[in-house]
Structures are given as C-alpha cells and as structure tokens.
Amino acid sequence: MSDLLLGQVLHFTADPFDHGLSAARLDEALVIDAGKIIAVGTAEALRRQYPQARVTDYGRSLISAGFVDAHVHYPQTAIIASWGKRLIDWLNSYTFPEEMRFSNLSYAQDVANRYFDLTVSNGTTSVCSYCTIHPESVDAFFTAAATRNQRVWAGKTCMDRNAPEGLRDTPQSAYDDSKRLLNKWHGQGRASYVITPRFSPTSTLEQLHALGTLWREHPECLMQTHLSEQTDEIAWVKDLFPQSRDYLDTYESQGLLREGAIYGHAIHLTEREKSRLKEAGASLIHCPTSNTFIGSGLFDMGGLKAAGQRIGLATDTGGGSSFSMLRTMAAAYEVGQLAGRALHPAELWWLATQGSARSLHADALIGNIAPGMEADLVIVDLASTPAIEQATRRADDIWQALFPTIMMGDDRAIRATWVAGARIHGS
C-alpha cells in the first residue's frame, strides 16, 4: 500500500552554496511506495493521482529527507559530554577505557541499540560510524541498523600503536579482520563497510600500508579516518612520520587518498593538502560541536566550499556534544560566524542532508526528496517549544520559519522519522 504524506515538503534541485535559494523547493505532498519516493507535487494533484494511498497529514510541519550524520563514533555514546580535556588527553582518559568494553558483544549490542534509538528520535536516518578494534562492535552496529532497516556505513577501527593493551591490533590482524567484516557486511541490505584506520598517530606505516592494500582490493568501499583536528596532534604526526611531507601525506603515501576517502575534521590544512584533497575528490567532514567542545579550531566552510571541496556535516558523537543534527547545524552556523561566513538556513539544511549524502557518495539514494530516492524522512514541527513558536510568528518565508528550530530545536521538534518508507519513530 502506498503512503501519501502532506506537509511542507522541502527538497533541493542543486547545491545552494553554488546556486543560491533557487536550489531549494517547497512542495505540498509526496507519495511513497515499496520504500521509495515515487512522486512529489501539490496535495490536490497527488490525492487525485493516488486515491488509494493511505494519507498522513502533517499540516504545517516540514517534511525533509532524514538527516545524514557523516562522522560518528557510536561506541562513545555513553561518554558524550565528558568534561574538560583536549584531544589526546580526552582519548586516553575517556574514550579508550570505554572502547575497551566493546570486546563484549552484549555490551556492544546494548550501546548500538541505544545509539540508534537516540539518533532516530533526533531525525537522523543514516550515519557513518567508527566502531572499536573489536569485530564484535562491528557486528553489533550492523545488526542494530538492520533491525531498523537503516542505510549505514561503518568499519572496524584499526590501531596498532599509541593505544592501551587490549585496544591494539597489528597490521596483519587489522587487514584480516577488516577483510572478513567487509565480506560479511558490505552490501548486506542497506549496510556498507568502511575501511577505518583511526588516525595516523595510532597506526604504524605498516598498518596504513596494509589498509591501503585492502582498499585497492576493494575500491567499492569508502575509507574513513581523521585529519588535522588539533595543532598538537599535527606536531605529533610530524614526529611520528619524519619522512612525510605533511599529515595528509601519511595517508596519501600508503594508498589512502582518492575519491571515497572521508576525512573527519580537516581544520588545520596546508595549501598542498587542500589542493591534493580537491584534486583527489576526497570528502571533508565538518564536526562543529566537537571542534568547539574539544577546542580544536574553526573549520573554514566558506573557503573550502568555494574552492569546490566535497563537504559533509557530522556530530562526531561523543567528541561532539549532541546526537542532534539540528544542534549540529546551529553550531555550524556559530562557527561560520566566527570564521567569517554566515551560513544560510538553506545551506545548513543542505549540508545535513544532501551534502552529507554526497560526501558518502550516496546522494543518488538518500539525502533528498525526489522520485526514485529511498524514503528516509524526518517530519519537523516548526513550533515545538513556546520559545520557538513565538520566534516564528513574524516569519515571512520558510527560512525565517525554520531558522529558530535550527538554532533552538532538539528532539522535541522531531514529530516522526521514516526509514525506507516505514515510520519508525513518532506518529
């Protein structure tokens, strides 16, 4: 049976960074059949064309593609908002002790399910996650996602040095375990495996090389890692890899730079790094709540986007301080203000949906509303709290009506979340 949803249907025909507001469209209705969007248009036309469809009327609420969170660490769910450290300290004090617990499959399953419950209630339909070094953590993640039929990306995090005993693998075991998990999960339903060296400080050159080899054998997969998040980290990479030209070169020299490479943070980049990233067609992921929370710096959205870089948006749970892509858009706006570029609500919304989908090379499947796209949707109440409701009363257009929800909204603004044509949260 098909579903006809009525509301303010926001979708994009192009990138608003390049094409301005003409890239965004508002319609009144969409039709879903067999998990996909099959029509978008006026309420009257679609009611007439699909008289048998089950109708859900969301009134003045916004209907959008579900949020796509392009960089998260689901194993850090329980240590989100841990106080007062910078990156390396924070990893050693909070992250590594928590990640140790994921050798236990039932603990990993418990956190994976909690993570998906939290993100779905925040309107996020797809995520790209790091797991831990334990294969159990990968199985738990993909199993929890499959239960909800979500399109997800993830991989075993590989580390063979500068991590505690119990949280290290080797170049060979990282290769073997990653390969086995890739063969087990990649392309199963809506799952995609991502080759995942954590970052250069926790991998030897031999391990980066082994994962570069695996990626060459499996070019159909994405590869994710971290790049130039904090200045101390960059200085450490320089010490650890004296032969490398810069941080990016530690990856590039081992076959870990090409289209399909996804680099989290990418804040402190040299000119050479920027030009190689652009040439290669790699993706850079902006993690604004994390970059302020851990004190990393200001991502140059204006400069990097104008230079044609491929950019996604992410919470970076649990370095990031929220599960909400609304809160993440607000932080991107605030960071943009400090970095000299006020991002328009249309640009923020595009980044949280299509921009992130594009960074994962999945923009033909998710991140937008158009016939043929998978029906992953979020329904957003634009007056979810008294403070937001009163701020929207004088709104003259959809952007003025939406911006208070971007800046002040949370999970109370999420009326419903639909995944592959089924409502899995809200009403």
- What is the binding site for ligand GUN (CB under 6 A)? 73, 87, 91, 95, 198-199, 226, 229, 290, 294, 316, 319
Nearest approach, Cβ of 88 to ligand GUN (angstroms)?
9
Helix (H) or strand (E) holding 424: strand 422-426
- Contact assessment for residue 46 and residue 2, using Cβ atoms and an 8 Å cutoff: no
Helix axes 135-148, 105-120, angle to 10 degrees: 40
Contact partner at residue 151 from ligand GUN, Zn ion, none, CB < 5 to 8 Å by partner kind: none
Give Dmax over CA atoms of the chain in angstroms. 68
Report the distance separating Cα 386 and Cα 402, nearest Å. Answer: 15
Which partner, Zn ion, ligand GUN, none, binds residue 290 by CB below 5 to 8 Å per kind?
ligand GUN
Residue 198 contact, options Zn ion, ligand GUN, none, Cβ 5-8 Å cut-off depending on partner type: ligand GUN
Of 398, 318, 301, the C-alpha closest to 73 is 318
d(CA 7, CA 168): 50
Residues 6+ apart with CB under 8 A from 59: 6, 7
CB of 40 to Zn ion, least distance (A): 35
Query: Which residue, 86 or 412, has its beta carbon nearer to ligand GUN?
Result: 86
**Which is closer to ligand GUN, CB of 294 or CB of 335?**
294
Distance in angstroms (rounded) separating the CA atoms of residues 324 and 332: 12
Closest CB 96 distance from Zn ion, rounded Å: 14
Task: Tell me which residue has tokens 């590869």.
Answer: 223
The least CB distance from residue 333 to Zn ion, in Å, is 21
Which does residue 376 touch among ligand GUN, Zn ion, none (CB within 5 to 8 A, set by kind)? none
Q: Which is nearer to ligand GUN, 91 or 131 (CB)?
A: 91
Q: 3-state DSSP call for residue 7?
A: strand
Least distance (Å) from Zn ion to the CB of residue 95? Answer: 10
121: partner contacted, choices ligand GUN, Zn ion, none (Cβ within 5-8 A by kind): none
Hey, which residues between 314 and 343 contact Zn ion (CB under 5 A)? 316
CA distances from 264 to 92, 213, 267, 383 (A): 19, 21, 9, 33
- Number of helices (H), then strands (E), belonging to the chain: the values are 18, 16
Instruction: Select the residue whose beta carbon is closest to ligand GUN and give its number.
Output: 319
**Residue 331: which of ligand GUN, Zn ion, none does it interact with, CB under 5 to 8 A by kind?**
none
Q: Does 264 bind Zn ion (CB under 5 A)?
A: yes
| Binding residue count for Zn ion, defined by CB under 5 A | 2
Task: Name the minimum Å distance from CB 224 to Zn ion.
Answer: 9
DSSP-assigned beta bridge partners for residue 44: none
C-beta neighbour count of 244 within 10 angstroms: 18
Enumerate residues 351-380 that contact Zn ion by CB under 5 A.
none
In the bound state with ligand GUN, the residue whose beta carbon lies nearer, of 91 and 332, is 91
In 3D, which of 238, 397, 295 has the Cα closest to residue 90?
Answer: 295
Smallest separation, CB 107 to ligand GUN (Å): 18
Question: What residues make contact with Zn ion under the rule CB under 5 A?
Answer: 264, 316
